[in-house]
Amino acid sequence: MSQTFRPDDHIRNVLEGARRTMYDDAGVRLEDITGVAGAGAVIGNGLSIGVDRITMLPGTGFPLHVHEGAHLLYVLNGRGALHIDGRDYVLRTGDSIYVPAEYPHGVQGPIDDNPLEFLAFGVPHHPIDSHTRMVLVRDDEVLGGDAMEQAVAL
């Protein structure tokens, strides 16, 4: 067995941890979106795995973007929307979502007055405040205009 258990890295409370600012790939701060780092590790072939808790306040959203690896989202609290393949899907407490690697998607923050909180599991995993965590899709034709803004109306 080449790996060892390290409690400081492998046990983290995502409800009580320090909130950290999130950024896009150009280093622009994502206003009113924060994250708390969860457990993580480097597994076989140097691949990282990890989980974080993301909190989005009303009026926020992740624009259309991709991640180098696949990830799972699990909605802890609130209601928001996922924009993928030109469609908007309402997300609510208890929903789990799989997003394939390099698949363009966006997340609309709360569609009411309560924060949207979800767990984000990623492989590979990037730190909360990393500028490499996501890469924005800068092609308006893929997004279909103002589709993310329209998700609020859901």
The three state secondary structure string of 137-153 is CCCHHHHCCCHHHHHHH
- The answer to the question of residue 121 being in a domain is yes
The helix (run of H) or strand (run of E) holding residue 7 is: helix 7-10
pTM: 0.86
Q: Which domain range does residue 42 map to?
A: 7-153
Band the pLDDT of 8: cuts 50, 70, 90: confident
In-domain check, residue 2 = no
- The count of domains in the chain is 1
Task: Grade residue 3 by pLDDT with cuts at 50, 70 and 90.
Answer: confident
Please check whether residue 72 lies inside any domain of the structure. Answer: yes
Note the pLDDT tens digit of each residue in 35-92. 999 999 998 888 999 999 999 999 999 999 999 999 999 999 999 999 999 999 999 9
> Which residue in the block uniquely carries the two structure tokens 């989202």?
73
Residue 118 lies in a domain: yes
State the CATH number of the domain containing residue 48: 2.60.120.10
Picking from 131, 153, 151, the residue whose alpha carbon sits closest to that of residue 65 is 131
CA distances from 31 to 55, 82, 86, 88, 154 (A): 11, 19, 25, 22, 22
Which 3 state secondary structure label does DSSP give 108?
Answer: strand
